Structure 1
Amino acid sequence: MYETYFIRAVPGSKVRLNRVLLLKEKGSGGEFEVSVGQPLIDGAYAEITILEHLKGEDQIIFKHKKKKHYMKRWIVNQKLTRFRVDKPLVKV
């Protein structure tokens, strides 16, 4: 399971990630072959399943100006998405 910034999809749905920057495959001799895109690899994708949406931990933002009696404070949460990788990177 992985967590990332919010992905707009319903929990339980499958999503295809098609913007792949790097692909590492095991060759026939047992060595790994690495393909680096320029900037993306054509035809490579990964399929994931969205498990749930959640909120990250609280972050406190504090602004002030010295000698002016100006202070502001916000508490914000980052929206996160937890997902599972079903098919690792596949090159078509």
Structure 2
Amino acid sequence: MNSSRGNKDFGKGDTEHSEAIGNSSSTYTWEPRDEVKGDIARMMFYMDVRYAGQDSDVPNLELVNYTNTPAETTDNKLYLVNFVLYYNGISMIQ
């Protein structure tokens, strides 16, 4: 499954994964199953806050609201913040 997700951004998927039931993908996005969406959102919020570029040896990761392309996978951005906010709202902390 990790190779199927690869560097895809979290977002709306249109084709269900054959081995990871409940997960789906499209050309540039991966949609996790509903049960883990909130956990993923909170992990991404943590990464944005923790890796804010305040230390010289730590990259500045940034949540943004657009999709990357394969050529942009090393630009220190965490994409599609609207989906992350949505994930956080539908899957509360257990």
Question: TM-score, normalized by length of structure 1?
Answer: 0.22
| Larger strand fraction of residues | 1
Bigger radius of gyration among the two: 1
Question: TM-score, normalized by length of structure 2?
Answer: 0.22
* Higher RCO (CA 8 Å, separation ≥ 6 residues): 1
| Larger helix fraction of residues | 2
